[in-house]
Amino acid sequence: MLQTTSEKSQGASPPAADRAYRKAIRHSARVRRLRVVLPLAAVTITLVFAAVSYMRSILPDEIQIESAQLEDGKLVMAKPAIAGRNSEGVPYSLRADRALQDMKNPNMITLKTISAALPVNDKVIARVEAESGIFDRVANRMELDKPFTLNMSSGIDAQFKSAKLDITAGTMETDQAVAIQTKGASIVANALNMKDKGKTMIFTGNVRLNVDPAALRSNRSTETAQP
Amino acid sequence: SAQSTSREMNGLKLSNDQPIQIESDQLEIRDAERKAYFTGNVKVVQGTTTLQAGTMTVLYQGQSGAVTEGNADIDKIDVDGKVFLSSGTQQATADKGRFDLVSQVFILEGDRVVLTEGQNVFVGCKLTVQMASGQAKLDSCGRRVQIQLDPKSQKQ
């Protein structure tokens, strides 16, 4: 049964009473401290939790970054890597040297020195190397505003001045000069609109196509010759 | 068949191996249909042969995805809209034409298919050329083949 401090001290000799008294004082001091510290701890934990979840929510969950700092209202991420799957479940990935994200508009990420692998259709993957681009996380679109190169895994190389890519739909559009080369054929035009995941390509403006049927055929014969 | 004139149009030996340059205002490649539509000032040059037309549709073989996979082989070419074909001293104009690269035959058709060779002019309605040999046959489709031979060319 809980003895009240006063009974204990009367029965005990003075030093015992003294020790019990001092223990009680320490106890209540600790309680007082806890009464302050505990809520404080609780508050800080919730604050930290809120910050982390906020950070988590503005960063795409599939993003990995080496480090990130806040510099004058912009989140500067080093070596960001974004990966995901397009509407057909084919994986795409996007890496950059730096990514800048304005806190006021967290869905738009400006990327510097980009290297991306974007599925054009189930068979062909397009690799993009670009100086800079603006990635719209929500719409899953990328605008490459500087010259860039594109290589299709089907053996097609292309050079662009700029372009707008819709990664999920697999479309790409440019209203500036484009040059594309494959083994046995090369084409240049003033603009290109690639739709239906690369199945439809519309070149417009001074279209020049050079075809070397022999090379095209040998390109195929080497393919068929492979075991 | 109706009166026809056969000529050697060796210039028209379109080979399936020589490099070809194609120019146009627009090109739409529809891979699913395995077709490429050239539209607007279409000009095709292969060696000494030049073909011009309003539109040109190329049908290629190979399964879908052939173009994006870079291994498309041309099956047929249809040209339309004021077709002009020239090679060396021979020229032909027609309304439309078809090049069948499998059977190596190309045909130019129209109300007036005009074949000129130097100063000689032949008018008919259908010109059929065997691409391999350049052998060309101009049919008059019932009308008389109009031949206008340049007297000078007779003396050679």
Question: In this predicted structure, what is the pLDDT of residue A173?
Answer: 93
A3 domain residue, yes or no: no
**Residue B144 pLDDT > 90:** no
Chain CA centroid to CA A186, Å: 34
Mean pLDDT over A10-15 rounds to 59
CA distance A57 to B139: 76
Higher pLDDT, A67 or A190: A190
Question: In this predicted structure, what is the pLDDT of residue B154?
Answer: 52
Q: Which of B23, B38, B65 comes nearest A123 by C-beta?
A: B65
Question: In this predicted structure, what is the pLDDT of residue A225?
Answer: 38
Give alpha helix (H) positions in chain B: 151-155
Domain residue limits at A87: 16-225
Enter the tokens of residue A197: 């995941």
Q: What does pLDDT average to over chain A?
A: 79
For A124-182, the pLDDT digits (tens) are 788 889 999 998 888 888 899 999 998 988 888 999 999 998 878 878 899 999 999 98
Question: In this predicted structure, what is the pLDDT of residue B8?
Answer: 61
From A203, which residue of chain B is nearest by alpha-carbon distance? B27
Q: Report the domain count for chain A.
A: 1
CA distance B105 to B99: 6
Dihedral angle at the C-alpha atoms of A169, A170, A176, A178, nearest 10 degrees? -160
Chain CA centroid to CA A159, Å: 25
From B69, which residue of chain A is nearest by alpha-carbon distance? A154
Give backbone dihedrals phi and psi of B60, rounded to 5 degrees, phi first: -115, 160
Q: Which of A154, A202, A209 comes nearest B68 by C-beta?
A: A154
> Mutation test of the interface with chain B: which of A180, A196, A203, A224, choosing the one with the most B Cβ atoms within 10 A?
A203
A180 domain residue, yes or no: yes
A11 domain residue, yes or no: no
Residue found under tokens 């662009």: A160
- Please report the residues numbered 121 through 150 in chain B whose beta carbons come closer than 8 angstroms to any beta carbon of chain A: none
- Please report the residues numbered 82 through 111 in chain B whose beta carbons come closer than 8 angstroms to any beta carbon of chain A: none
* Chain B: closest CA distance from residue A197 (Å): 11
A183 domain residue, yes or no: yes
**Residue A9 pLDDT > 60:** no
Mean pLDDT over A105-133 rounds to 86
A8 domain residue, yes or no: no
Question: In this predicted structure, what is the pLDDT of residue B126?
Answer: 92
Mean pLDDT over A45-56 rounds to 62
CB atoms within 10 A of CB A64: 12
Question: In this predicted structure, what is the pLDDT of residue B3?
Answer: 57
A5 domain residue, yes or no: no
**Type of residue found at A82:** I
Q: Count of alpha carbons within 13 Å of A197, Cβ hemisphere only?
A: 17
CA distance A97 to A154: 27
Check which CATH number belongs to the domain holding A193 and give it: 2.60.450.10
Q: How many residues does chain A have?
A: 227
Instruction: Report yes or no: B63 at the A interface, CB cutoff 8 Å.
Output: no
Question: In this predicted structure, what is the pLDDT of residue A130?
Answer: 93
Q: What radius of gyration do chain B's Cα atoms show?
A: 16
* Chain A: closest CA distance from residue B43 (Å): 10
Instruction: Please name every residue paired with B28 in a beta bridge, in sequence order, or none if there are none.
Output: A202, B37
Question: In this predicted structure, what is the pLDDT of residue B2?
Answer: 47
CA distance A121 to B69: 11
Instruction: Report yes or no: B32 at the A interface, CB cutoff 8 Å.
Output: yes
For B55-99, the pLDDT digits (tens) are 999 998 766 555 555 556 778 889 999 999 998 888 999 999 998
| Contact criterion met (CB < 8 Å) for B65 and A124 | yes
**Type of residue found at A126:** A
Which pairs from B109-112 meet CB under 8 Å and 24+ separation? B110/B83
CB atoms within 10 A of CB A203: 26
Q: Which of A195, A118, A188 is nearest to A158 (CA)?
A: A188
Count chain A–chain B contacts defined by CB atoms under 8 A: 99
* Chain A: closest CA distance from residue B70 (Å): 6
Mean pLDDT over A14-27 rounds to 81
Give backbone dihedrals phi and psi of B4, rounded to 5 degrees, phi first: -150, 160
Enter the tokens of residue A150: 């594109």
For A204-226, the pLDDT digits (tens) are 999 999 988 777 666 555 443 33
Chain B residues with CB inside 8 Å of A206's CB? 23, 25
A6 domain residue, yes or no: no
The structure's pTM equals 0.71
A198 domain residue, yes or no: yes
Flag the least confident range among A187-201, B31-45, B63-77.
Answer: B63-77
Question: In this predicted structure, what is the pLDDT of residue B13?
Answer: 60
Q: Which of B21, B25, B28 comes nearest A200 by C-beta?
A: B28
**DSSP run (H or E) holding A37:** helix A14-58
Confidence of residue A1 (pLDDT cuts 50, 70, 90): very low
Chain A residues with CB inside 8 Å of B71's CB? 216, 219-220, 223
Q: Is B64 strand, coil or helix?
A: coil
